[in-house]
Structure 1
């Protein structure tokens, strides 16, 4: 205890000085608009230990997205900043460094080595995707932008931004088109879905006509519930308050609209949420319904991309006397164009009717039917003027909501639509993977190529450059098959022109060969017929019209490939008396089949074997006598030494 007059010196703790305001404080925000929805993209540097580095990169991200018309808010650049900052927080401590010291203008942490290490990590994370390469290039572009604008960037980092990425982007396998059988299967399934959707909505609107305000008529009537759904009064809280607690106590007509429940790992049976979704499907079309219209329209519009089709609004559609005019927007090309799709009248097939006869299956008819299907939703949800307007349950509000169909939600993609479809026999659709909607456009391009033919410039049309068509559409299987057939036809024509069959002179025409009428019918003149008749142009296997006019040389000298190529020469003339020689040649060729590899035999002897078979077919009745003559006289085939050493080794 201190004595009187004594005072103990109190040691006060030192108060740290206030932290100066930093220019890296604050959340960086970029907004973008897509199909009428404003999206907010943000980066908070305070979420990372390398706060200053994250702020510097985020500032460049904001500048870039404001300077360039990037529709998605620069998602690749923002993603690169987030992933690199996260990696730096984890990588710097492994080197005994503090991530807070990371700066673009400082070498306290070697950011060049950090970037290389980040590239290796991305390559392991995305081994079969271009995303890793895209993120690295986006980060280098942000740093290069800062350096080009005079910002502080270390010298080594500036050099790194001018160098390529450490690895190349992986090349994705190009998408192939659907086969013709798959195209027909998708078309038929989509048409069946359109009919079913129109029938379901017609039934729901008939019930709606009998409904009334449930606050007066009661909440346990199906028509009244539809009336409330149409008026926007249906929410999860309202139904939980107005309906019995368990669905088994609901009225039978209400329980019937619930989806069938199967225990596939689900923990809850259909309840209030399922009822709201079912009520909405009785009045409005959802994304699974709109898939069918999208498939049919893409199959019928060869010059329209899925992006242009999804972005259509009601005001972009104008029906004319000759078809429908669409104002289409292609964001990637920043292009807006008007395209006329003419009406295509076709005879109606009584075996292929469509519901209510509200149009046809061409582009104009499908657009009319789609507008009719979605018109009720546009009336109930004002301000939504999208062509592909889908209505579904919203978990946030617990009620029905409408928005432009994105076809990207879980369990509502193109592949899920295909999986849920059945053919006429009740079997799942046999559609090859991947189930990518872009393959529909390629299929349409191929169908157009099959119908029109022509050059690549004709097939590319007005919506593609020739090189774009060649690289993205001309590689398909069908295009290759068609090109192969065209090449085969042209080659066959050339072969037929260059190597005509030898002329076979039967025994009755041989004595009369010098007569003008007989010689002319065989394509010979009098001097050629006389020389052949006298044996002056006997080449060893056949006679020759003119040894100095060989198709195998153009210098006017005597033929140098006789008798090896006589069976493939247009100048060859065969007498029936020469059949024993040809039979011995055929036997020699068959012996060579066993001695030579198949590719070599086909290249050397294949065409001659086929030519001999044609000759033997024309004079089959003379072959037994010719074989008997070979055996009786002991004939042997005399081939030139050069032919044996060149072809038989």
Structure 2
């Protein structure tokens, strides 16, 4: 160490020797990679340098990545899409307004981003159909990112903060609810799915036999089909092997190989087609798994498609009485285990039980289908080390080898509609005439409505054990079957009401009244001998008319004495009118007409309208006796005596 005063001055560097650090490019590519709950690795990227508003795009992209990690999101596609969409719009919109897009930023500046966001939301509505929910989703995701940035950056303007706290400027449109499949469609799909399961099991059985006869093709040769099956089982078969060991043109291949790939298009893309066909002898594809998916959704009324797809091998436990299935519903954060007993249904004719078919009763019930699915994908799970029952083996994106994963049934050519279209005949006529849309969610509704029919259609029965009543009302009760059952219930209730409303008394002529006690007359009038005797002696006189049975009135509870006579006698099916009672009815008719002058028209119609109509019908049937009845009223100076309660209820 130099002593004090012995330090030598160091030479100051010249300007030519000063090294200015290079400016860091802070607007780089933002990329996010994550693994979904279903095991898929997804990557999303946003390149701010692709936009003139690069600073705004970079700030939003940073907020997106930070929010994804902070919220532990399982999907980030919509957030990245919202960032790209706004950045593209801001470039066009700000340039058209004579502003510099590069000046746009979240932490202040001269550009009002709130107005830009409003204009962007309006443009989204023009880009998508009116029924699309995409504009609302993108707007909501963007506002979430801005709000997340505002909680961490105090420089975000207050106006932009307030906008981020609000909802998108337009509501998400309500999608038209799906209707269930018709019953004949359900039966047709079930039959086609059962045929598909049988065909798959037959193909897998052939592949297993070929596997037993196969050898390593690197030793025994690449021209024998059993050897190729052996290579597929040991995951050493690729299109590169075909290119190296087989002829360039498929026409010169051995006959077993040509028969394996023969079909539409003949030998186009023959190497990849041969690769898929050989693996298909051992491993089901997504299209092959559709029959199991359809049959199980038609049977499992309390299982959604997403619950069914992610069932793993460890989630099923078989027993002699049935199968126990653990189901996971992500949307409801619910895990439950249900036991499904077997149905005592015998095997179909010609279908022998064995390893590839459930060796027990009811092989098309839930336990039988689970056993058959478990057996069909057992080799796929073992070879490719996958846990799911719906493990599908498909080609990779380079069409060079085969890979396995969870069957998602969402890619082109693997959807539910593609399975339906695969059944079209040679003349392009659909073998399965299924109404559109071909959406698998309609299968669940079909299973629900089948349960509706079985349980009789009450609202609590329709909801079942896995829905609240209001959830069922909003998502399932709109179906055609539910409407038909509801209409039938309404019709039944209306018939009961109409039967009471349209009921009218039975008019007995003077001749029939004289012979009322005779058995033939009583039987013709649908009366018992006791009722006829009581009517003849006046024991069942209710004041205006007679009555078959005062304890069987449609207006009072069963078994109780009628308390509405004589006010409702003219509207009762039990009423018996004798011609000797016509003077009373005429006086009642006069009283009703007098009430027309006292009561308001609507009140009179409600209280007396139907009574007046019923009296008019009776008077029409015995018009010849009406003058004599009028004369009897005048000669005997008869008066109409109505109960006080009747006057109190109907005349005020």
Residue 37 of structure 1 is matched in structure 2 by: 40
In the TM superposition, residue 207 of structure 1 has moved relative to its aligned partner by 2.0
The alpha-carbon deviation at position 503 of structure 1 amounts to: 2.0
Select 2:182's aligned residue among 179, 182, 193. 179
In the TM superposition, residue 505 of structure 1 has moved relative to its aligned partner by 2.8
For 1:532-586, what per-residue CA distance to the aligned partner results, in whole angstroms no more than 9, with x for missing partners? 9xxxx59xxx99999xx9979x998986x9xxx95x544654569999xxxxxxx
Structure 1 counterpart of 2:124, from 104, 111, 122:
122
Partner of 2:597: none
SS in 1 for 2:514: coil
Residue pairs, 1:185-264, within 5 angstroms: 185-262=188-265
**CA 1:303/1:551 → structure 2, altered by over 3 Å: closer, same or farther?**
closer
Look up the match of 1:520. 531
Partner of 1:320: 319
CA displacement at 1:389 relative to structure 2:
1.0
| Secondary structure of residue in 2 paired with 1:384 | coil
Question: Aligned pair in 2 of structure 1 residues 459, 245: CA closer, same or farther (>3 Å)?
Answer: same
Query: How far apart in 1 are the matches of 2:431 and 2:78?
Result: 38
Give the equivalent residue in structure 2 for 1:399. Answer: 401
The one of 439, 444, 457 aligned to 1:436: 439
CA distance in 2, matches of 1:445, 1:160: 43
| Aligned mates of 1:530, 1:340 — CA distance in 2 | 64
Q: Given that residues 147 and 164 in structure 2 are in contact (C-alpha distance below 8 angstroms), is that contact kept between their aligned partners in structure 1?
A: yes
Distance 1:61 1:501, change over 3 A: same
User: Equivalent of 1:131, from 118, 130, 134?
Assistant: 134
TM-score, scaled to structure 1: 0.76
Contact kept in structure 1, 2:542 and 2:565, CA below 8 Å: no
1:443-493 CA distances to partner (integer Å, 9 max, x unpaired)? 111111222246434443332222212211122111111112112222323
- Answering whether residue 283 of structure 2 is matched by residue 284 of structure 1, we say yes
Deviation string, structure 1 residues 218-239 (Cα, Å, up to 9, x no partner): 2111212222222222211111
* Residues 136-158 of structure 1 deviation map (CA, whole Å, 9 limit, x = unaligned): 11111221222244542223222
Unmatched runs of 5 consecutive residues or more in structure 2: 1-17, 523-527, 557-561, 583-609, 626-652
User: Does residue 298 of structure 1 match 2:300?
Assistant: no
Q: Is the 8 A contact 2:392 2:406 kept in 1?
A: yes
Deviations 1:77-108 (A, max 9, x none): 22211211121122211111221111112242
Can you list the C-alpha shifts for 1:141-197, whole angstroms capped at 9, x where unaligned?
A: 221222244542223222322444332222110011111111111110000000001
Q: Matched residues in 2 for 1:25 and 1:401: separation?
A: 34
Moved more, 254-263 or 129-138: 254-263
After superposition, the C-alpha distances for 1:582-630 in whole angstroms (9 at most, x for unaligned) are xxxxxxxxxxxxxxxxxxxxxxxxx99x999x99xxxxxxx9xx99x99
* Cα distance change on mapping 1:296 and 1:151 into 2, 3 Å: farther
Superposed CA RMSD in Å reads 4.1
Q: Aligned partners of 1:550, 1:460: CA distance in 2, in Å? A: 33
C-alpha distance in 1 between matches for 2:333 and 2:81:
23
SS in 1 for 2:260: coil
**1:491 equivalent among 491, 494, 518:** 494
Distance in 2 of aligned mates of 1:318 and 1:40: 36
* Superposed displacement of residue 68, structure 1: 2.4
Q: How many residues align?
A: 559
SS at 2:281 equivalent: helix
CA shift at 1:324, angstroms? Answer: 1.4
Query: Cα distance 1:218–1:18, how it changes in 2: closer, same or farther (>3 A)?
Result: same
Distance, in Å, in 2 between the alignment partners of 1:529 and 1:334 is 68
Query: What corresponds to 1:47 in structure 2?
Result: 50
Partner secondary structure for residue 170 of structure 1:
coil
Contact 2:33 2:41 in 1 (8 A): no
Unaligned 5+ residue runs, structure 1? Answer: 1-14, 580-606, 616-622, 631-649
Q: TM-score by structure 2 length?
A: 0.76
Q: Give the conservation status (yes or no) of the 8 Å contact 1:57–1:81.
A: yes
Match of 1:418 among 414, 417, 420: 420
Partner of 1:269: 268
Distance 1:458 1:340 in 2: 20
- Structure 1's 105 and 150: CA in aligned 2 closer, same or farther, altered over 3 A? closer
Distance verdict in 2 for CA 1:129–1:100, change over 3 Å: same
Deviation at 1:19, TM superposition (A): 6.4
Q: Do the aligned partners of 1:176 and 1:442 also contact (CA within 8 Å) in 2?
A: yes
Aligned twin of 1:472 = 475
Whether contact under 8 Å (2:516, 2:532) holds in the other structure is no
